[in-house]
Amino acid sequence: MKFPYGMSDFYKLITEDYFYVDRTDRIPLIEELGDQLLFLRPRRFGKSLLLSMLENYYDVAKAGEFARLFGHLAIGQNPTPRHNQYFVMRWDFSMVAAYGSADEIAQALHRHVNSRIQDFAIYYQHLLPHAIEIHPTDALVSFQSALTAVRQTPYKLYLLIDEYDNFANELAMGGQPTGKQRYDALLRGEGALKTLFKAVKGAASGFGLDRAFITGVSPIVLSDLTSGYNVSETISVQPEFNDLCGFREEEIATTLRQIAAACRWPDERAAEALEMARTFYNGYRFTTTTAEPVYNSTLALYFFKHFQRTCGYPEDMLDSNLAMDRGKITYIASLPGGGQMILDIVNGEPLVTLSRLADRFGVEDMLTVVKDAPFMASFLYYFGVLTFGGRTPTGKLILSIPNLVARKLYVERIQDLLLPDKRAQDEGRQVVDRFLMTGDLGPVCDFVEQRYFKVFDNRDYHWVNELTVKTAFLTLLFNDIAYIMDSEPALERTYADLTMIVRPEMRQYQLPDVLFEFKYVALSDAGLTGEQARNLTTADVQALPPVQTRLAEARGQLTGYRQVLQQRYGERLRLRSYAVVALGFDRLAWEEV
């Protein structure tokens, strides 16, 4: 199979027989929902390919190729009357630079729109009654000239705008006063971007523009456009469009079986490949109703391509092209209360809940000092590092980390929060390497006491208990190259605090599977002050009655978890299990079970 990793050209995919997952069955519904639609999804989810598919479907100049392009797809069996009935113009704002002064950015915007209009004029010259005049510095004048030419034909214009918020997001995320000034100049009053969208709105009032389909990541820019463009309908959370971009599990499974068969893998290894993909890539839900989670399409193609080429899995399951999403987590972590929210998200308690997803927040919200939890959670949802995870008993929306590659981004940020010294991070990695070789958890506990517990005294991290200790160990031990790291995996309706299961292809090395159970004893329950606890020997800490009680509880739980894991993984499991008890945030006691 030819996997179109990084490609978004529908025409090339179809005519050169690349892998393509058909979503053309949604075209009739898209037509029914409105004339000007906004569709939001995280980066690298296939939005550009979706626009390219719509472009090829509606393009009047490709009417003669309809059967070739769509005959074998769902829409080809029952096309709508609108197919191949439009002039199609496409703008891509990811190509507009977000640096320089407001005037320079505005000029870049005009240059981009002008270049697209010029391409439009050349492409459709055989169907247009006269040439389109391109104004060198004013794309609005060029746009009006294009509309004038279109109105003199039997057809109308379909406008596709890709990444409408891209360069504006870059400005807003910068967080600098000059960034806000430049952003305001583009969107306030008669700013260039606001004026451009006002022209789009006006063109739809009988001046040649019939339909517009806009994609982006967040509603930030839409909020600031206000009256400049208040006619679009957002279809992002419609249940029917949950998988409009992204792959369903049955599509992933079918493809993996085909690759596994070509690699001459037995059925059980094909199932193993699906489990790997599910763990690292599945879990995105874009509707508040019950829906099957979907896979990020770019990550899936990355996995497919590597699997087919090597008959093995990528070493780094996080495609580097998506690694830049860690910047969004860094942005939230930099806000007042943001570090605590990142810790809470990874802990899983308290749950991240919302009455409703914020769908209108502008650059003022991005750049003002105070951010509330709903803003931060909504922001992380739009950028794909949180997703809908159900509802609470009272009906609130739950947002959760979708999968292991997203969890890695959080873990990396928490490492920087709790251990900003890079030399200390290197020391921590060396301590973990020794633990995996020897099974001696003592040096790991010493490192956590000496490095992490000092950070927990910081008043910014107010919600701390055994879950926070678990997070410290998770961030220190995290290694998705060798392990499937899972915080609280379901084990027959019970939950272990942390499991480290060796990845299938890494079992050739001398790596143990590891299971942890964490407990917490408050200093007051032990009748100690922090200074007294720090002065105790390791043996004295271990012998404290409250610590012994909690160690016994952990031992009992670990016994049950071990049995479940042994049944699941069989003889291949090389399991070591540990009970760890924190005495306040000063000392640790542990034992191997």
The rounded distance, in Å, linking the Cα atoms of 478 and 500 is 9
**Token pair for residue 549?**
């009680």
- 513: amino acid identity, one letter: D
pLDDT of residue 369: 46
Domain ranges in the chain are 10-241, 249-283+291-319, 322-418, 434-593
pLDDT of residue 517: 94
Side-chain-side CA neighbours of residue 110 (13 Å) = 19
**Token pair for residue 250?**
């049955």
- What are the residue ranges in the chain where pLDDT is below 70? 172-180, 188-189, 226-228, 322-324, 360-371, 456-466, 487-496
Residue with tokens 């517990």: 453
Look at residue 154 and give its three-state secondary structure.
Answer: coil
10-241: CATH topology is Rossmann fold (3.40.50)
pLDDT of residue 309: 96
Backbone angles phi and psi of 335, in degrees to 5: -85, 155
pLDDT digits (tens, 9 = 90+) for 90-133: 999 999 887 888 888 899 999 999 999 999 999 999 999 999 99
- Spatial CA neighbour of 160 closest among 107, 87, 105, 223: 87
pLDDT of residue 332: 83
pLDDT of residue 459: 46
Backbone angles phi and psi of 464, in degrees to 5: -135, 135
432: Cβ–Cβ under 8 A, 6 or more apart, which residues? Answer: 444, 476, 477, 479
DSSP H helical segments within 232-321, as ranges? 249-262, 267-281, 297-310
The rounded distance, in Å, linking the Cα atoms of 533 and 161 is 62
pLDDT digits (tens, 9 = 90+) for 285-342: 999 888 899 999 999 999 999 999 999 999 999 887 766 677 788 888 887 778 888 8
Asked if residue 385 lies in contact with residue 333, where contact means CB atoms within 8 angstroms, the answer is no
The pTM of this model reads: 0.91
- Spatial CA neighbour of 438 closest among 512, 361, 367, 376: 512
- CB-count burial class (<10 Å; 0-12, 13-18, 19+) for 471: buried
pLDDT of residue 184: 73
Tell how far CA 215 is from the center of its chain. Answer: 16
pLDDT of residue 461: 47
The rounded distance, in Å, linking the Cα atoms of 291 and 162 is 26
The rounded distance, in Å, linking the Cα atoms of 198 and 488 is 50
17: Cβ–Cβ under 8 A, 6 or more apart, which residues? Answer: 2
